[in-house]
Amino acid sequence: MLTAFRFNTRFQVAAGILVLVVLFAVFGPLFPGRGDPFATVGGLYNHPSASLWLGTDNFGHDVFTQLMYGTRTSLVIGLVAGAVATLIGVVLGTLAGFRGGLLEDALMGFTNVIIAIPTFVILIVLSVALSNRNIVTMALVIGVTSWPWTARAVRAQASSLRIREHVDIARLSGAGTARLILIEILPYMASYVTMAFVLQLASAILNEAGLSLLGLGPSNVVSLGIMLHWALLWESVRTGAWWAFVPPTLMLTFIAFSLLMLQSSMNEVFNPRLRTGGAQARRRLARPEIRQAPVGGAGVAADPGA
């Protein structure tokens, strides 16, 4: 497993970008002079200079400091929302796939109904209805709305695992449902769930950015989407103040790209037959590749895994 990871350049590149982004967000604010993203250090859209590396935004805040805190907010919301969504998806999907029958029909019916409604619409309506939006409520709202894809994918896995021999043997030796799920089912889906989590993480970060850009972001903090919101509102794009919108745009792109690349390279490690080669070398695949959600209400178009 580890050797496979070592040989996968795409995995290394993606992980490298991610580590840099995380270091930037975690340790950046600890440097002297970076303590307060809302400190007024200049005027309206000051140009980048030796002391203000990325200039100032429309309020005279230091864009570089804002970028650190904004990235941090986006990552935190992404992690919490991604974890919530993956947890709900795995619980519902495993239950449905493992138990089958009426429970499966009911749970998957519910999931299919929710999937049909565009996530971002539910997100907008929910965020508008929330009076006090902070990082935690935003993350919960995003997590609670984006689990259906994971539930659907996990159900397919769980119901194919259910009829495997090792599960039958465990069942014959008298293992209970909880034990079967925890020991015989979940570990076999671990790679799958990890990839689903990475996708949920990317999608949550993009959803937060989209909501914040619309003006529905968390209050009293800065996030990448909020930076874009103000940049658009104050016409920085059209007045040429590139330092106000290019940094958050690139940061979002890097985060999303590295997460998706991470997922697709993990997919190749877990599913070796997907590796690229000449057309002649390929054979029809025996087992379908992971097919997860179109990621991100606000951003990513199609499913990268499929």
The site for other proteins (CB under 8 A) is made up of 105, 109, 112-122, 124-126, 128-129, 131, 202, 206, 209-210, 213-216, 228, 232, 237-238, 240, 242, 245-246, 249, 252-253, 256-257, 259-261, 264, 274, 276-279, 282-285, 289, 293-304, 306
- Smallest gap, in angstroms, from Cβ of residue 259 to other proteins? 8
DSSP states along 133-153:
--HHHHHHHHHHHS-HHHHHH
Nearer to other proteins, 190 or 285 (CB): 285
Inter-residue long-range contacts of 239-245, CB under 8 Å, 24+ positions, other chains counted:
239/45, 241/45, 241/55, 243/45, 243/47, 243/48, 243/54, 243/55, 243/63, 244/45, 244/55, 244/57, 244/58, 244/63
Nearer to other proteins, 33 or 118 (CB): 118
Per the document, the length of the chain is: 306
CA distances from 262 to 30, 175, 207, 219, 271 (A): 28, 36, 19, 31, 14
- Smallest gap, in angstroms, from Cβ of residue 62 to other proteins? 21
Nearer to other proteins, 180 or 274 (CB): 274
- Smallest gap, in angstroms, from Cβ of residue 121 to other proteins? 5
Nearer to other proteins, 163 or 286 (CB): 286
DSSP states along 98-132:
HH-HHHHHHHHHHHHHHHHS-HHHHHHHHHHH-SS
The letter for the amino acid at 10 is: R
- Smallest gap, in angstroms, from Cβ of residue 165 to other proteins? 26
Residue 133 CB partners (closer than 8 Å, separation 6+): 127, 216, 217, 218, 219
- Smallest gap, in angstroms, from Cβ of residue 3 to other proteins? 22
| Distance from C-alpha of 168 to C-alpha of 171, rounded to nearest angstrom | 5
The letter for the amino acid at 225 is: G
- Smallest gap, in angstroms, from Cβ of residue 288 to other proteins? 8
Nearer to other proteins, 40 or 134 (CB): 134
> Are 93 and 148 within 8 A, CB to CB?
no
- Smallest gap, in angstroms, from Cβ of residue 144 to other proteins? 12
Nearer to other proteins, 2 or 302 (CB): 302
Nearer to other proteins, 68 or 209 (CB): 209
